[in-house]
Amino acid sequence: MLISSILILAIAAGGFALTYLIENEEPFLWRVAAGNVIGSAIFGTTTFLLAMFAGLNAATVIAAMVIVLIPIVLLKSEDRRKIFRHDWAKAKGKMQGASVVKALRLLYYVGFLLLFVFFFDRTMIETDQGIFTGGSNNLGDLPFHLGAIFSFTDGANFPPQNPSFAGAKFSYPFIADLITAAFMKFGVGVKDAMLVQNVAWAFSLLVILERFVLKLTNDRLASKIAPALLFLSGGLGFIWFFGDFGAQAKGFSEFIWHIPKDYTIGQDFRWGNSLITLFMTQRSLLLGMPLTLIILQKLWESFCDTETRRHGDAEKRIAESPRHRVTASVFAGSIAGLLPLIHLHSLVVLFVVTAFLFFLRIEKWREWVGFGIGVCVLAIPQLAWSISRSATETTKFFEWHFGWDSGDANFLWFWIKNTGIFIPVIAIGIYMFFSTQRRGDAEEGESTKEKEKDKSSDSSLIPLPSSLLLFYLPFVFLFLISNVAKLAPWEWDNIKVLIYWFVGSIPFVAFAVSWMWRKSSALKIVAASCFLVLVFSGALDVWRTASGQIKNGVFDADGVLVAERIKRSTPLKALFLNAPTYNSAVVLSGRQSLMRYPGHLGSHGIDYGARERDVKSIYSGGSNADELMRKYGIEYVLISPEERNSVAANEQFFRKFPVVAEAGQYKVYKVK
């Protein structure tokens, strides 16, 4: 874990220097967080490009690391060094001395950091009995990501082919998994590499979201509330929780340590807590979202720059020439251009937001065009590469479909049940924001001393309420389009877009809770109650995971052992036949499979039907089995309990071939 931590800090150092090209005035912690995700994006993409020519090895990873660190030379500029010294001095000032405010601030960040450590530690559990996961929704996603990671480290998968569907381009955004694979080339274990990266990216998202909300609302308390609303998101599931508690005989303390199910996702709920259903299972989003929020913050600053209102004696503006703003927009666009292989849905969200902003502030066309040029230069080549020879059918990614994943449920009740009071509080927040005309209302309760010490609150750019509402329009559009159409073959995957509506709405919700908390003693009770209702269900699910109450088996001990033997006895690019399941032992070997889990393939727009029929035909040992194996170029066949149960493997047929690896009930036959 120490090596992983050193590597992530080195990556963050290079990205940290690049933040001075995007923003002139940001706190030191934000620069570290932004530097982490920007550096990770550049490191992953650079590693991919180098590995395409030289393979993934220690030399290519070191070269990528050197390239990521090059931006540090930007700090040789006297102007940037002056800003850096100013940022560092302010950061030290916040840590020096003792006060209740500083203690609470430290407790806030340490609390979230510990939460992320305990939570993501449950992503992958290695024991003598095999590999498990402590995430209720991670049973299929963990082996998918492990399959990608091991295909890079042990399968020489460059240029990347889909390890779950041999012969097709690996068009799934794989950079997050490639970064893990790169760390492993320094001797880091896969669990430790994923844990350090997940915690670092999640903490960066916390800091970046906090800053994003502060920029939009100019309300420091709202910015502190915002991360809890995201990471502990949920609906009315806590009502079901108390119902389940009342229906059994255990005491509350015992019941809370043995919670029977999740209360944000399952038979009754479809929204799902963000940590449970997205950030643990979809590592691409965990890297893509903070990167996207950095860009959204920059777009917001450009958007509201012409519509600010004066506060106090004077309006403080960051002195930027039009040319500098356009240059910064081009660079921000370049960062966004890295998203196709990191998280494509995030790029789609940015496209929608930018399109709206362009027409709403067409006088800023130079900055919008500069941003678009920056995006296109890097995004178009990646998109062209991923689309060519891909098995994904793009026509499956749009279809009119009302109600997202509500099924036959009443549409309004579905959203109330799944998000609780979140949507009504959005409306309250919008009303409160418009009705609050004085800065004192927005910063009531903050001491004069803190105001003087923290000049980084960007109170210089206080937007008119109309600016924030217009900026919110594209997020409303994302909600509407996700409720009238499928944006992926599996309708639930609309969550990858809906989560950005949720994040875009958080500033209003956090502002409403903050405003009520400061307004009066009576409203403090209302604010606390609203906050509790907003996070209770999500907190239950996160607690259930972080406290170790879930332990689902993914690979048994024999599966892990036979995977190691496969590595030693088969070529790196060997093609395997295995049952179409998510947890085949082949996953851990890094070798290619003719076909794996249909659920993953279908959700990625791959038509797997004909191949699935052929897999079953081969395992049956029928008259055309040998011909089909020659057709696909299959070299090895796995027979395990899964093949015996799910595809009725005819072991007698395969006994004519030599066994090259076995462990327990697992056998690998060499058929070519």
**pLDDT tens-digit series, residues 416-436:** 999 999 999 999 999 998 887
CB 358: neighbour CB atoms within 10 A? 17
Burial class (CB in 10 A: 0-12, 13-18, 19+), 670: middle
Q: Give the CA-trace dihedral at 206, 211, 212, 214, to 10 degrees.
A: 130
Tokens linked to 102: 């500083």
Cβ contact 570:268 at 8 Å = no
**Separation of alpha carbons 118 and 545, rounded Å:** 9
Three-class SS state of 125 = strand
> Which of the four pLDDT bands, split at 50, 70 and 90, describes residue 123?
very high
> Which of the four pLDDT bands, split at 50, 70 and 90, describes residue 440?
very low
Encode pLDDT of 45-80 as tens digits: 999 999 999 999 999 999 999 999 999 999 988 888
Query: Considering only 146-155, 194-203, 393-402, which range has the smallest mean pLDDT?
Result: 393-402
Encode pLDDT of 563-610 as tens digits: 999 999 999 999 999 999 999 999 999 999 999 999 999 999 999 999
Three-class SS state of 670 = strand
> Which of the four pLDDT bands, split at 50, 70 and 90, describes residue 312?
very low
pLDDT at residue 465, as a whole number: 73
What are the backbone angles phi and psi of residue 296, rounded to the nearest 5°?
-60, -40
Residue environment code for 265-293, b if the CB has 16+ CB neighbours within 10 A, otherwise e: beebbbbbbbbbbbbbbbbbbbbbbbbbb
**Separation of alpha carbons 318 and 310, rounded Å:** 14
- Which of 381-390, 449-458, 653-662 tops mean pLDDT? 653-662
Three-class SS state of 280 = coil
Q: What is the mean pLDDT of residues 252-266?
A: 96
- Which of 84-98, 225-239, 349-363, 440-454 tops mean pLDDT? 225-239
Q: What is the mean pLDDT of residues 187-197?
A: 97
Alpha helices in 55-135, H assignment, sequence order: 58-69, 78-95, 100-120
pLDDT at residue 320, as a whole number: 54
Q: What is the mean pLDDT of residues 102-113?
A: 94
Report whether pLDDT(471) > 90. yes
Strand 575-577 to 592-593 pairing: parallel
pLDDT at residue 305, as a whole number: 64
Report whether pLDDT(315) > 70. no
Encode pLDDT of 155-187 as tens digits: 999 999 999 999 999 989 999 999 999 999 999
**Separation of alpha carbons 61 and 571, rounded Å:** 23
Encode pLDDT of 473-519 as tens digits: 999 999 999 999 999 999 999 999 999 999 999 999 999 999 999 99
pLDDT at residue 442, as a whole number: 45
DSSP 658: P
Report whether pLDDT(318) > 70. no
Report whether pLDDT(452) > 90. no
Q: What is the mean pLDDT of residues 287-305?
A: 92
Report whether pLDDT(444) > 80. no
pLDDT at residue 632, as a whole number: 97
Q: Would you mind telling me the total number of residues written for the chain in this entry? A: 672
Encode pLDDT of 322-347 as tens digits: 677 788 889 999 999 999 999 999 99
**Separation of alpha carbons 664 and 643, rounded Å:** 14
- Close Cβ partners of 562 (under 8 Å, ≥ 6 residues apart): 585, 640, 661, 662, 663, 664, 666, 668
Cβ contact 181:152 at 8 Å = yes
Q: Classify residue 464 as left (phi > 0), alpha (psi -120 to 50) or beta.
A: beta
> Which of the four pLDDT bands, split at 50, 70 and 90, describes residue 319?
very low
**Separation of alpha carbons 316 and 462, rounded Å:** 10
Instruction: Tell me the pTM.
Output: 0.94
Bridge-partner residues for 240, per DSSP? none
pLDDT at residue 487, as a whole number: 92
* Omega cis (within 30) before 159: yes
**Separation of alpha carbons 659 and 628, rounded Å:** 20
Report whether pLDDT(280) > 60. yes
CB 45: neighbour CB atoms within 10 A? 23
Report whether pLDDT(316) > 80. no
**Separation of alpha carbons 53 and 59, rounded Å:** 12
Q: Percent of the chain beyond pLDDT 90?
A: 81
Place of tokens 């590592």: 283
**Separation of alpha carbons 649 and 621, rounded Å:** 8
Query: Considering only 108-117, 158-167, 361-370, which range has the smallest mean pLDDT?
Result: 361-370
- Close Cβ partners of 134 (under 8 Å, ≥ 6 residues apart): 121, 122, 123, 125, 545, 548, 550, 551, 552
Mean pLDDT for the chain overall: 91
pLDDT at residue 525, as a whole number: 97
Report whether pLDDT(204) > 60. yes
Cβ contact 190:146 at 8 Å = yes
Alpha helices in 337-387, H assignment, sequence order: 344-360, 365-387
- Close Cβ partners of 311 (under 8 Å, ≥ 6 residues apart): 439, 459, 462
Angle (deg, nearest 10), helices 190-217 and 175-184:
140
End-to-end C-alpha distance for the chain, whole angstroms: 41
Query: Considering only 395-409, 562-576, 656-670, which range has the smallest mean pLDDT?
Result: 395-409
